Structure 1
């Protein structure tokens, strides 16, 4: 029964998920440890953002199970719908990279002084940087898993075309999540409104320039971080 999952790199994937889960616990403990003198903990929202990043991992595992154990017709239908769910949630993982900005929004500093000497500043920065790395790793794991299914179904070239499309859409998804403040479920709850807003966004010259300026860097981060992880993973999984 487990032979089909072994072709999808199980149980190695389970071991990796355990490692990522431990890394997540350590990172969130560090987030929780940051506290203002007043007692307020400024980064508790990171817990929810990290949970959303983990959703894409869970959906990727579900796709593996569907791919391995469902009948052909049922599998095709389920992969389309569950795959769409995965795509909606995938940007939540690399989105954690953009949470780095909260250091400069929530850490009180005087830009005219050498605030970087204060070790508390580095505690804030390194903690959210760790969360950013975690988001990249969770996204890379999830994408590697789904790309492998695409490769098995349609070939290597199609799988890399899929990756590029995912990165383009995710870069835009991260943009609207950070600047327009939409959530993944808004695609299902308010599809008409979102479509109208996207059309307006992409037809306004100044807005389009802002979108492109952000998305090109987000795309670079995604591709530069994913390709080495993909190569290393493929090398050690043989």
Structure 2
């Protein structure tokens, strides 16, 4: 795996988020503040990156080894918030009466669509870079195969988390505050339709992440220099 400069990654993602918020600010002045909840959702999408960056730095410096596990659990708990933002596109359908008037598409539709896509892009990039960081941590401690098994598990959890969040309206912190409700929702969600939905989202996440991984590790190795972790080849 290629080692990244995560300070630069952080600055890039922070810049993208600021641009996203600026676009929302401009659009909300011309339309309304209905999509204000996207700001909170973007904040939740940032939490996995905060956890993964902390774990990555602790592991890289070989300090706080015992903290990596709780950081990993926290990361797994909040990671689904990143892909979840995609489902906010449903509001374009819910509010279709505002966007289509007398058979004509209103300009506000394009403003809101672009805003939603920017929030989705920001959230997904932040989430996928956090996944890359944790894969790097596991790669250092084990090997590439086990790190990819972790990726598969994370994508599966992400798909299931999107289902629980959008369909069953479960929040990440409900795992800690209402375990009975969580247990009941898990039982209710064990049906063919929910399993297919979760696996479908998981496959989409895996496809996008694998594309990013290849761009970073395969297509970017044209100069012959070794940037692999721990000197592995």
Task: Give the TM-score normalised by structure 1.
Answer: 0.84
Task: Indicate the residue corresponding to 1:13 in structure 2.
Answer: 6
TM-fit CA distance, 1:234: 2.1
Question: 1:165 aligned to 139, 143, 153, which one?
Answer: 153
Q: How does 1:217-228 map to 2 (within 5 A)?
A: 217-228=200-211
Residues 112/158 of structure 1: CA separation in 2 closer, same or farther (3 Å cut): farther
Q: How does 1:116-131 map to 2 (within 5 A)?
A: 118-131=106-119
Q: How does 1:189-228 map to 2 (within 5 A)?
A: 189-202=177-190, 208-228=191-211
Question: 2:35 aligned to 40, 43, 49, which one?
Answer: 43
* Per-residue Cα deviation, 1:120-158 (whole angstroms, up to 9, x for no partner): 211111211121122221111000000011111111111
Task: For CA contacts below 8 A with separation 6 or more, give which structure has more relative contact order.
Answer: 2
Question: 1:109 aligned to 94, 99, 108, which one?
Answer: 99
SS of corresponding position for 1:184: coil
Q: How many residues align?
A: 220
* Per-residue Cα deviation, 1:87-134 (whole angstroms, up to 9, x for no partner): 00111111111111122223513487242xx33211111211121122
Q: Using the alignment, how far apart are the partners of 2:94 and 2:212 within structure 1? A: 31
What root-mean-square deviation, in Å, do the aligned CA atoms of Structure 1 and Structure 2 show?
2.2
Q: Using the alignment, how far apart are the partners of 2:118 and 2:204 within structure 1? A: 15
Q: Using the alignment, how far apart are the partners of 1:54 and 1:113 within structure 2? A: 39
Preserved contact between residue 147 and residue 162 of structure 1 (Cα < 8 Å): yes
Preserved contact between residue 2 and residue 216 of structure 2 (Cα < 8 Å): no
